[in-house]
Structure 1
Amino acid sequence: MTCRVCGAENGEPHFGGISCKACAAFFRRFVLSRKLKIVCTCKEKNHKSYPCRQCRMLKCMAIGMTRIKVQPMREKNVIKVPTPKFMSTLSLLSCNIIPRSCFNITKTVESWPEIDKKRKDLYGENTYELNFSELSNLAKTDTNLLWNLGEMIFPEVKILNADEKEAIICNFFPRWIIMECAIDYSTNYDYHSQLLKGDGLDRMLVKFYGSSMPDEKRMSDEDILKTFKQYWIHLYLVICEPFFQKKYDKVECIALFLLILFDDAYTNISEKSAQLCRNLRKVVLRELKGYHTDNDFTEMRFLNVISTLTSLERGEQDLQEEVLICGLNNVSLHEDFKAIVQMKKL
């Protein structure tokens, strides 16, 4: 067959018309080109020259070649990382041999798989599919699960009254949210890196916030990104990435969990209860120090763990601001969640 565009031999069916391979390749390149406009240049050329790109394209279309039959370009050498279904937890982290002197940390490590199971039952099989509103609805129950673990490890805290317990939980949970994001970032690093490189983060944020707003009051996609993306970029780059670089193991993360759970920086608990929290933190720090010493970790590693507490506090401040902005932009969040995040502290 003859190419119906240029008259060359060896014409074959391409994109709905009969053309040679050269004209088919031209048509495909033209369709996939990012140039929005071309003009005829035949008058500027020698009369013996081939037709210009515009005229050649019109010939292609005249013989029946259509754009929709051209396969879109595919990215080369891109390995797609599947979206995790459930946020990674402490159970997935490794650790060295824990000395017997670390009794409370060991007990927490051993109890964590059961907590994971209960939290998975609470959040469902695919945490990544939940929007902000749905996550906020589950926060109160989640705090109780984590507090019950703390009570099991340190039964002494049962002497706290209901208001003091509530104050401690409200101080703890926002920092725990930030820390859990950092753990998930560390254990699913390839997935989160891919989110940041492409438009994955934008798509995730539009769904996360947009589906948490009433339809009639929903912000535009552009406004959602303009308002909320800055918080996630800060979380990834300032908190999660340094956390990942420090390569904390399971014992160190358990220690951080207990340290933020029994923080004594409150104005609304008694001095006796604050002293109890300080004593429990001393126990955790002593056991962490013993773990580091037994495994020949440097003094700097111990200091790095402690400094992470300050990083989590900064993340908590960003979360408080974000929740306030959510209220101004019709993002529906459970009242219990807002009360936990926005409780006034020292």
Structure 2
Amino acid sequence: MMCQVCGADGAEPHFGGVSCRACAAFFRRYVHSRKMQITCTCKQRLASSHPCRHCRMLKCIATGMIKCKVQATRERNKAKAVCLPGSISTISLLSCNIVPRECSNITCTVENWGEVDVKRKRLYGDSVFNLNFTQFSNITKPDTLLLWDLAVKIFPDIKLLSGSDKQAILCNFFPRWMMLDSAIGFCTSYEESSKYIASKDYTDMLLHFYGTSMPLEKRLKDKEIIQIFKPYWDFHYFETAVPIYFKKLDKIEYMAIFLLLLLDDAYANISEEGATLCRNIRKVVKRELKGYQTDNNCSEMRFISVMDVLLILEKAEEKIQEEV
């Protein structure tokens, strides 16, 4: 087998890609390097010489090699379960069970979620229901950037994505995340939310959310607003939030869904290089999730049930597109 980095013979799987031992050793040294910035020096080198460290590393990444697979860099024995503050933390009254050593990336996401949650609450205020459609729309960009920064902190390789790939991923990601986030809010207090859906407060919220975003001279009548928009919210409640609630997911599983949702290699308008990077990271997340569930004696169907949430959210997004 030929090395996909330098073309030498005798290649074998290393760190998620296929390379010779020399390139695998280079990749390991690069990951361990203390240098924060390594730039391209090919223009100062002879034409017959090998690529510089920067370009060689890019080739390693392109073959599927992932930094987090270099074992010595992972603090595997320090993984621990941490309660999440805010909306997800209350869901996490569900036990986190035993976190295996192979679950370090998802666990790190959990540990860092508290800081992100505080920043998100500053954006949205005490309640999303106090906002109208226009105000909510203006918050979506800074919100997605907070979530993006969290993902970069967990998987630094994400910084290798181009600006256009980042933009495409965030545009595709946010509608589905919005559905998951609101479903999580519902799961936080199932009985209270169920009563709210059947109350006048629910319809009043819809009138405020949409009605106050419309110019006064073009504002629809209350009856028309309810008639047009309520079916979509009802769909989200019955077809998205309720099914997710009854899956009884814990915080590790929710964080895995967040990462899988963000780094979907099937999103539209992503380059092949970007899709490959997302696909490789998703493999890591799925492996960690599977290891976590195996260590906690979950059935095979548990993993399938978690993956089913992604399909539920895809279906919910299609419904949103009708609304838009």
Question: Structure 1 length normalisation: TM-score?
Answer: 0.66
Counterpart in the other structure of 1:144: 145
CA distance in 2, matches of 1:267, 1:203: 36
Deviation, 1:297, is 1.2
SS at match of 2:246: helix
CA distance in 2, matches of 1:270, 1:260: 17
Counterpart in the other structure of 2:109: 108
Tell me if structure 1 keeps the 8 A contact 2:172–2:268. Answer: no
Deviation, 1:214, is 1.2
Verify: 1:295 aligned to 2:262, yes or no.
no
Cα shift readout 1:183-226 (whole Å, capped 9, x = no counterpart) = 01111212221122232321211111111111111111100010
CA distance in 1, matches of 2:299, 2:118: 34
Deviation, 1:259, is 0.3
Cα shift readout 1:241-283 (whole Å, capped 9, x = no counterpart) = 1111111110110000000100001342221211111110010
Tell me if structure 2 keeps the 8 A contact 1:131–1:207. Answer: yes
Counterpart in the other structure of 2:48: none
Verify: 1:91 aligned to 2:92, yes or no.
no
Counterpart amino acid of 2:262?
Answer: L
Verify: 1:322 aligned to 2:323, yes or no.
yes
Question: Structure 2 length normalisation: TM-score?
Answer: 0.71
CA distance in 1, matches of 2:210, 2:269: 33
Counterpart in the other structure of 1:284: 285
Verify: 1:174 aligned to 2:175, yes or no.
yes
Q: State the identity as a percent.
A: 52
Counterpart amino acid of 1:151?
Answer: V
CA distance in 1, matches of 2:174, 2:197: 26
Tell me if structure 1 keeps the 8 A contact 2:129–2:205. Answer: no
Runs of 5+ consecutive residues of structure 2 not aligned to the other structure:
1-84
Runs of 5+ consecutive residues of structure 1 not aligned to the other structure:
1-86, 324-346
CA distance in 2, matches of 1:309, 1:190: 24
Q: Which deviates more from structure 2 when the two are superposed, residues 139-148 or residues 127-136? A: 127-136
SS at match of 2:265: coil
Q: Which deviates more from structure 2 when the two are superposed, residues 250-259 or residues 207-216? A: 207-216
Q: Structure 1 pair 316/88, CA: closer, same or farther in 2 (3 Å)?
A: farther
1:223-242 aligned at under 5 Å gives the runs 223-242=224-243
CA distance in 2, matches of 1:136, 1:305: 29
Cα shift readout 1:87-146 (whole Å, capped 9, x = no counterpart) = 953233322221121010010000000000111111123332111111111111111110
Counterpart amino acid of 2:100?
Answer: P
SS at match of 1:296: coil
CA distance in 2, matches of 1:301, 1:256: 13
Tell me if structure 2 keeps the 8 A contact 1:132–1:208. Answer: yes
CA distance in 2, matches of 1:270, 1:202: 43
Cα shift readout 1:28-72 (whole Å, capped 9, x = no counterpart) = xxxxxxxxxxxxxxxxxxxxxxxxxxxxxxxxxxxxxxxxxxxxx
SS at match of 1:246: coil
CA distance in 2, matches of 1:115, 1:320: 28
Counterpart amino acid of 2:190?
Answer: Y
Verify: 1:192 aligned to 2:193, yes or no.
yes
Counterpart in the other structure of 1:209: 210
CA distance in 2, matches of 1:198, 1:269: 43
Tell me if structure 1 keeps the 8 A contact 2:87–2:185. Answer: yes
Tell me if structure 2 keeps the 8 A contact 1:93–1:250. Answer: yes
SS at match of 1:200: helix
Moved over 6 A (4+): none
SS at match of 2:101: coil
Tell me if structure 1 keeps the 8 A contact 2:88–2:185. Answer: no
Q: Give the count of matched residue pairs.
A: 237
CA distance in 2, matches of 1:268, 1:238: 28
CA distance in 1, matches of 2:107, 2:133: 33
Tell me if structure 2 keeps the 8 A contact 1:167–1:266. Answer: yes
Tell me if structure 1 keeps the 8 A contact 2:265–2:275. Answer: yes
